[in-house]
Amino acid sequence: MAGTGYRDYFKVLGVDRGADADTIKRAFRKLAREYHPDVNPGDATAEAKFKEVSEAYEVLSDPDKRRRYEQFGQYWNQAGGGAPGAGVDVDFGRYGNFDDFINDLLGRFGGPGAASGGFGGGFPGGFSSGAGFPGGPFPGGGFAGAGRGAAGQRQPVNLDAEATVKVSFQEAFRGGERTLSVNDERVQVRIPAGVKNGSRLRLKGKGNLQPGTGRRGDLYLNLEVQPHEIWRLEGEQLRAELPVSLDELALGGSVTVMTPDGEADVNIPAGTPPGRSLRLKGKGWPARSGRGDLLLTLSLQWPEAWSEREKELLAQLKQARVNDPRRSWLQSARL
């Protein structure tokens, strides 16, 4: 496919003349996917365009060829190089899937990241890069097609894909929306209120694409809810420890607490021991059947230091105390 006239390879790939190697590679991958014969069966125009972008990538991905092209223009191949496009014409039928073809093509052109595989750019906003597409690593691999058996026959392929997305505790409680990048496509994802760690969302038609058929699988998102500094989830109940003082436990009274819905006043009964829990009905985790309960476990907050006035009052309390806290213990501990 040697070119006889001058082609502006930068315009062919739609990049600036100062584009770096990664930008050139991404542009080629996008155009190669758009014009590949498997995606456009029987379309001679698309095939010609595909060969043109392949030729442009062959030259611009090779540092020496690019230097001569930028220096000598249409006569670059007469300045010590062969005709562009050598080796671009290929037998598409010998590849099991589109990723195999692209990886082989990138490797033959000597471009950077030749073995990286596939298309796309991952999942910003907390997607795990360890998730896998069948037939190739994910993110990337948006064209994981069917493989070939020993007899050269195409085998059935599962086009579904999975990935992990991290969500904050607040997002899991309230729900919300995320805009994600899936194989060069921006996808809006709605996170329902009340999801839990391990919940699974299904995005129909956002999985792998099988070249030549237009078939596309689904994308399954496994949600990983991040822990919260204060709150923890137990079933549908939302729990937290509530710091209280010695006098609040002994004398009781109303204290202001924070709930997911804002501030609220709760009453601590007089003489409540530490470790007891106060229950706020319907203030817990969202569920299909309604809100769970919120449980606040009373935790005695011992001061780091006592004031002189507090010490005086404690001394008076010691003199006035009528109960011996170790009386029953002494009796039971005798051997």
E strand residue ranges, the chain: 132-133, 136-137, 161-167, 176-182, 185-191, 200-203, 219-225, 232-234, 237-244, 253-259, 262-268, 277-280, 286-287, 290-291, 294-300
The second-level CATH assignment, the architecture, of 132-225 is: Sandwich (2.60)
Higher pLDDT residue, 105 or 19? Answer: 19
Q: In this predicted structure, what is the pLDDT of residue 5? A: 56
Distance CA(6)–CA(70), nearest Å, equals 12
Residue 99: pLDDT band by 50, 70, 90 thresholds? low
Distance CA(281)–CA(125), nearest Å, equals 34
Query: Is 9-109 a domain of CATH 2.40.420.20?
Result: no
Distance CA(210)–CA(208), nearest Å, equals 7
Distance CA(67)–CA(71), nearest Å, equals 6
Residue with tokens 């611009």: 60
Distance CA(95)–CA(91), nearest Å, equals 8
Higher pLDDT residue, 97 or 167? Answer: 167
Token pair for 238: 């939302």
Residue with tokens 């030259």: 59
Indicate the pairing of strand 277-280 with strand 219-225: unpaired
Whole-model pTM?
0.51
Residue 148: pLDDT band by 50, 70, 90 thresholds? very low
Residue 1: pLDDT band by 50, 70, 90 thresholds? very low
- Sheet containing 237-244: order of strands: 232-234, 237-244, 294-300, 277-280
Query: Is 232-333 a domain of CATH 2.60.260.20?
Result: yes
Q: In this predicted structure, what is the pLDDT of residue 138? A: 34
Q: Give the DSSP letter of residue 257.
A: E
Distance CA(6)–CA(75), nearest Å, equals 8
Model confidence at 124: pLDDT above 60: no
Indicate the pairing of strand 200-203 with strand 161-167: unpaired
Tens digit of each residue's pLDDT (9 = 90 or more) over 289-300: 889 999 999 999
DSSP calls for 267-310: EEPTTPPTT-EEEETT-S-EETTEE--EEEEEEE---SS--HHH
Q: In this predicted structure, what is the pLDDT of residue 146? A: 38
Distance CA(121)–CA(30), nearest Å, equals 11
Domain ranges of the chain: 9-109, 132-225, 232-333
Can 132-225 and 232-333 be said to share one CATH topology?
yes
